[in-house]
Amino acid sequence: MGNAQDILILSNGPGELTTWVRPVVRELRRQLSEDRSQLRISVILSPCPNATGKEADIARSYPEIDRVQAAKHFFPFLLWGKTAENWDWRDRGIVLFLGGDQLFPVIIGKRLGYRTVIYAEWDARWWRWVDAFGVMNPSVRVPPEYQHKLTVVGDLMADVDIGDGERLKGKGESENEGSLEDMTIEGRGAMLAPNPGKDNVGAGVANHPPGQRTNNELIGLLPGSKGMKLRVGVPLCCAIAEYINQQRPQTRFFIPVAPTLDVTTLAQYADSQQNPVIANAGNISAELIALEGETPFLKTSGGVRIDLVTQFPAYDLLSQCRICLTTIGANTAELSALAVPMLVLLPTQQLDTMRAWDGIPGILVNLPGVGSSFAKLVNWFAIQSTRKHKRLYAWPNIWAKEEIVPELLGKLEPQEIGAMVVDYLEHPKKLSEMRDRLRKVRGESGAAEKLARLVCEELVKIPL
């Protein structure tokens, strides 16, 4: 490769790290070099309103990345150019923007003397000072004299892959898709335990030979990763699971635990002693069962088992789900990329729990003492506006500009949601149609490869 080079990636939230950074760093290593003495990849995180505080740990888990700095140290670096660990920088390098404020790479690139590349979904800014933009689609506009800086690379969210790095066949298309009953539910060779009901709910993971068929049907439950969503989402999912299990006892359930969570924390939201919202979200509690050598799970008060899968990301299991129940966020983009049918839940049981607003509303809803009242008011107005203007929240719906996966907003009742799921399971043609529409809207894969290629082209322009 010639002289040693640095690539500095700027990112922020958990969604950007999993759907943007992860596929891009793999491609950078594949196209450039695995030799760390020649190519060093660093990630510096900036503050994000959706952050959980564990984003640095997520980035450190990616083997392609050499150095990571947490968001709490960002502004001293932005202002004075010094990292918390006093990193050194090579003479030649690229600043690659994958989340945050597009002004950041401009400032940091100038300070380090690096060329700058920005991945832009909807808007490209600071075009005078940025060297190149990899844009999601041709609708991103800049003045004509800077049009040459734009390269259409596609949607990074369409580049979802399974945990071992091997691309999913057709991004979620099973060779046995015509017979959903024959799908194997495997998690790296170990099958999730069938839902045993009350009599043997303590049973561990069923280790079936690889490739063995099962008539069980799998449903993924994605209640979120932050407290405000988990408070309602976990008990609601538990109650829905109980209803479905009564109708279809062959159904199994699992929650892919976000890397920013641990199973003990998640289980607290299913405990009626610690989460009073349970009474308004189906009134079904659950206890954590964690036996040595087995997959931890929630055992609901009705005896239904919900496995807690800590493998991250759990694409291999998610891709084999008949349907998923999910909150809004990057997970809807990931499920769309996997072509997994979904119901998107926006429960309003506790209007005062939703506090993740930006700007002045965000300040008001988080004020001590009166924040709860402001939260109820702000969220009520948001709900009315959503209904009036038919605003869409799930990424596949935003991309399609229409509702191709149901978005369920309001005081959600577990029995009604459960009945919808059962209806889908009993009419697989509906699921197939939703899956086909997801495939059409998710876009072509290859954005990470094209963006990495753009970085390579900019590296070549740096004088030796």
Taking only the tens place, the pLDDT of each residue in 143-183 is 999 999 999 998 888 776 544 333 333 333 333 333 333 33
| 431 and 453, same domain (yes or no) | no
| 101 and 229, same domain (yes or no) | no
What per-residue confidence (pLDDT) applies to 100?
92
Tokens coding 371 = 């924040």
Asked, for residue 381, whether it belongs to a domain, the answer is no
Prior bond of 223 cis (ω within 30°): no
Q: Which residues of the chain have pLDDT under 70?
A: 1-2, 160-215, 349-389, 443-444
Report the amino acid identity of residue 416.
E
Asked, for residue 405, whether it belongs to a domain, the answer is no
Q: Which residues on adjacent β-strands are paired with residue 104? A: none
Residue pair 402/390 in contact (Cβ under 8 Å)? The answer is no
- How far apart, in whole angstroms, are the C-alpha atoms of residue 351 and residue 368? 16
Number of folded domains in the chain?
Answer: 2
Tokens coding 240 = 């829905």
| 255 and 223, same domain (yes or no) | yes
| 192 and 336, same domain (yes or no) | yes
Report the amino acid identity of residue 338.
L
What per-residue confidence (pLDDT) applies to 63?
95
| 143 and 190, same domain (yes or no) | no
| 326 and 431, same domain (yes or no) | yes
pTM equals 0.70
Asked, for residue 436, whether it belongs to a domain, the answer is yes
What per-residue confidence (pLDDT) applies to 184?
34
| 93 and 142, same domain (yes or no) | yes
- Which residues touch 375 (CB under 8 Å, ≥6 apart)? 351, 352, 353, 354, 355, 365
Residues 251-267, buried b or exposed e (16+ Cβ, 10 A)?
Answer: bbbbbbbbbbbebeebb
What per-residue confidence (pLDDT) applies to 43?
98
Asked, for residue 169, whether it belongs to a domain, the answer is no
Asked, for residue 185, whether it belongs to a domain, the answer is yes
| 265 and 312, same domain (yes or no) | yes
| 295 and 312, same domain (yes or no) | yes
| 323 and 426, same domain (yes or no) | yes
Domain that holds residue 38: 5-159+445-460
| 154 and 246, same domain (yes or no) | no
Residue pair 327/259 in contact (Cβ under 8 Å)? The answer is no
Residue pair 193/289 in contact (Cβ under 8 Å)? The answer is no
Tell me, letter by letter, the H, E, C secondary structure of the chain.
Answer: CCCCEEEEEEECCHHHHHHHHHHHHHHHHHHCCCCCCCEEEEEEECCCCCCCCCHHHHHHCCCCCCEEECHHHHHHHHHHCCCCCCCCCCCEEEEEECCCCCHHHHHHHHHHCCEEEEEECCCCCCCCCCCEEEECCCCCCCCHHHHHHEEECCCHHHCCCCCCCCCCCCCCCCCCCCCHHHCCCCECCECCCCCCCCCCCCCCCCCCCCCCCCCCEEEEEECCCCHHHHHHHHHHHHHHHHHHHHHCCCEEEEEECCCCCCHHHHHHCCCCCCCHHHHHCCCCCEEEECCCCCCCEEEECCCCEEEEECCCCCHHHHCCCCEEEECCCHHHHHHHHCCCCEEEEEECCCHHHCCCCCHHHHHHHCCCCCHHHHHHHHHHHHHHHHHHHCCCCCHHHHHHCCCCCCEEEECCCHHHHHHHHHHHHHCHHHHHHHHHHHHHHCCCCCHHHHHHHHHHHHHHCCCC
Asked, for residue 354, whether it belongs to a domain, the answer is no
Asked, for residue 216, whether it belongs to a domain, the answer is yes
CATH number, residue 9: 3.40.50.2000
Tokens coding 101 = 């404020």
| 269 and 194, same domain (yes or no) | yes
If we measure between CA atoms, which residue out of 2, 107, 192 comes closest to residue 183? 192
Tokens coding 10 = 């700027």
Asked, for residue 394, whether it belongs to a domain, the answer is no
CATH number, residue 187: 3.40.50
